[in-house]
Amino acid sequence: MSDDPRPAESHRALAGALRKWADDHESPPPVPGAEIRRRAVRRRRRRHASLAAVGASAVAAASVVLSMAFTGGKEGPHHSRPPAATLKAPGPPSAAGSVPAATVNLSRRELVVGGRVLPISAGSAKTPTPTGRMTVTGKYKVAALPTDMFGLERRYEMKAPWVIQLRTPQNRTNYIVAFTVDEKAPGNYDSTTGWIGLRRGDAEWLYRRLDRGAVVAVVGAAPTPTPVPATPAPVRTTMPSGPAS
């Protein structure tokens, strides 16, 4: 039998290491079923509390966003919701809101455009010129127009120069024309059937200035013609006849 103490020390070290390894890997003591259920209930309560807190935070954030959207981000207790917008169907284009390019004053027998005044002849009291804001819908250097427009009894078509076609507020057609039939009428008297007559040179100048879509405002009324006083009939005196000689 050997007297060397090293083998005994080695056995003791190995035994100590085995006990430590066993202690580290020792199974936990069993937990009773009631304790397991209590732990599960506590976990569920914690989850519900967390979900409720998250939901409350989301609702609060949404409320803040909606409040800023309706009040424009302003703070204060008296901000009310803005009224709902009223939708309006777009109507057909008209000359109601357009700035007139020319103005016709029937009372003065003149057409004003670009600071220039042009004498006109318009419709008489029996055939008045329609008033309102009219739109230029066509332009013709020469156009065939019915002669009854010019007050002629025989009805046929007659060529007229520098014709500007208008659309009236009543959706009817009217014209601005060079009044070549009677150059003395513009500025002096009204002798058309409702259309507007200009001197030939003025009609050409206006034709080149107004474009399609331009607005012409017609205002006033034809002046009442001054009645011509009737000439008194001459007084005829009868000489008394004397006695026959």
DSSP-derived secondary structure for the chain: ----SHHHHHHHHHHHHHHHHHHHTPPPPPPPHHHHHHHHHHHHHHHHHHHHHHHHHHHHHHHHHHHHHHHTT---TTPPPPPPPPP-------STTSPPSEEEETTTTEEEETTEEEEEE-B-SSSPPP-EEEEEEEEEEEEEEEGGGGT-SS--EEEEEEEEEEE-TTS-EEEEEE--S-TT-TTT---BSSSEEE-HHHHHHHHHH--TT-EEEEES-PPPPPPPPPPPPPPPP-PPP----
Q: What is the pLDDT of residues 120-179, one digit of tens each?
A: 999 988 889 999 999 999 999 999 887 666 555 556 577 889 999 999 999 999 999 999
Which has more confidence, 214 or 192? 214
Residue 130: CB atoms within 10 A of its CB come to: 15
**What's the pLDDT at 63?**
56
* Pick from 103, 136, 132: nearest CA to 117: 103
Report the DSSP pairing between strands 102-105 and 110-113.
antiparallel
> Helix, strand, or coil here: 62?
helix
**What's the pLDDT at 147?**
61
d(CA 120, CA 106): 8
| Confidence grade of residue 5 (pLDDT, cut at 50, 70, 90) | low
| Confidence grade of residue 18 (pLDDT, cut at 50, 70, 90) | confident
| Confidence grade of residue 199 (pLDDT, cut at 50, 70, 90) | very high
**What's the pLDDT at 91?**
39
192: DSSP letter: B
Average pLDDT over all residues of the chain: 74
In the chain, what percentage of residues exceed pLDDT 70?
A: 57
- 182, pLDDT greater than 70: yes
For residue 197, what are the contacts with CB-CB under 8 A and spacing of at least 6?
120, 121, 122, 176, 177, 178, 179, 182, 185, 186
What pTM value is reported for the model? Answer: 0.53
Q: Looking at residues 7-35, what average pLDDT do you find?
A: 66
Which has more confidence, 202 or 8? 202
Q: What is the pLDDT of residues 63-105, one digit of tens each?
A: 554 455 444 444 444 444 433 333 333 334 455 667 899 999 9
> Rounded to the nearest 5 degrees, what angle is found at the Cα of 136, between the Cα atoms of 131 and 140?
120
44: DSSP letter: H
Q: Looking at residues 16-24, what average pLDDT do you find?
A: 67
- 206, pLDDT greater than 80: yes
- 202, pLDDT greater than 50: yes
